[in-house]
Amino acid sequence: MEYGLIGEHLPHSFSPEIHKKIGDYKYEIKELRPEELEDFLKNRDFKGINVTIPYKQAVIPFLDEIDEAAKEIGAVNTIVNRDGKLFGYNTDFGGLKALFERNKISVSGKKAIILGNGGTSKTAEAVLKSLGAQTVLKTDLVPAEGVITNEEAVLKHSDADILVNTTPCGMFPKLSGMAADPADFPKLSGAIDIVYNPLRTDFVQRAQSLGIPSAGGLYMLVMQAILAAERFFDEPVPKEKAEKIYQELLRMKKNIVLIGMPACGKTTVGKLLSEELGLLLFDSDELIIEKSGRQISDIFEKEGENAFRKLESEAIFELSGKTGAIISTGGGAILNPENIRNLSKNGKIYFIDRPLENLVPTSDRPTASTSEAIQKRFEERYPLYCRFADKIIDANCTAEEVCKKIKEDFQNENFGD
């Protein structure tokens, strides 16, 4: 390959899409087993590559020259082949620094804790020090020289101002979990997660729920790619291009999530949106039927609502890992707040707010088979729909008009601000 990304496991990397937007060159992904790395680098059959987990340190012995900044950090994520000589750089530094700056998270004079002790933690340490952090600590599951445990961080350093997660905790496909809980650090004024898939990890969501300025790693990924391209071609890329690519990528990766009462039109609107936007449509109820081999009414009748809700949460967790899709949920999906947290990791949630008098009961809906049942569900759930929605869509109109409202909102939103 001429340009690309090497790493051990790269099934869902966003890098090719980013580099396609940067310039007219082919950018490929190459997964390498540890025993294959040496031959690949010795063959030097490439012009420029990015390096990711777990090879940012392992590549260093094979390089002819290393940029001073990369040498100081002790990690390389960009290699350029110039006339058979390999030059190593660290563009993660500039990407992470730009992420702090874009989100206006001040570090100067503050105590910062880095979660993790791998190659990226070295970059984070260098960035924090360059931004004027007074104290920088690292944590890991096992203590080591210059590294404290996560438990020690909470017990002795709960006064930390900044948290930076450099671990893969919460990264796709394992969407759950945090290396540390921001709630354990009451003085936090900023939280950064280098994970970019999902767009909002549990770590970022928790920080945001506490009102702490926070961000995931997608903008860092975009900026480091732009800086890498500048190294590949020895040409500057206009800095405003980063924001444009970031917004385009967010729009490509964000899901449109539909919530609302039974019979509010989620399925019909979802199909219309799928056709107009060219996005795949997934329905949580249909996934339950597919996986269980039974109709929903049958599950309710034979096992009860609790059994169905468990299957529903499992289906929603699976669908939450999708990107760039439309997800239609069952009317009761909002009864479990964890469903909303999962759907919000990659999605914007739209409440299709159809008036009660326009909701028609049908026999195939176990909780909405009569007018009385629909009214009861409506009164119970309406506050939850409003609470969990990112956008409430007035659906006292045709399905086509609802589709148009959602489409316009989604396409015009300036994400991440």
Q: How far apart are CA 138 and CA 125, in angstroms?
A: 8
Sequence-separated (6 or more) residues with CB below 8 Å from residue 226: 22, 237, 239, 241, 242, 245
DSSP element (H, E) containing 244:
helix 240-253
| Dist. CA 375–CA 381, nearest whole Å | 10
Rounded distance, CA 191 to CA 215, Å? 7
* Whole-Å CA distances, 365 to 11, 20, 319, 360: 38, 46, 22, 11
Identify which of 173, 177, 128, 132 has the alpha carbon closest to the alpha carbon of residue 150: 177
66: buried, middle or exposed (CB in 10 Å: 19+, 13-18, 0-12)?
buried
Task: Give the burial class of 179: count Cβ atoms within 10 A of its Cβ; 0-12 exposed, 13-18 middle, 19 or more buried.
Answer: buried
Q: Where are the alpha helices (DSSP H) in 80-139?
A: 92-102, 119-130
Q: What CA–CA distance (Å, rounded) separates 305 from 311?
A: 10
Could you tell me which of 286, 354, 366 has the C-alpha nearest to residue 326? 286
72 touches 126 (CB < 8 A): yes
The 8-class DSSP code of residue 389 comes to -
What is the three-class DSSP state of 393? strand
- The residues assigned a catalytic role are 56
Q: What CA–CA distance (Å, rounded) separates 71 from 341?
A: 40
* DSSP assignment of 252-274: HH-EEEEE--TTSSHHHHHHHHH
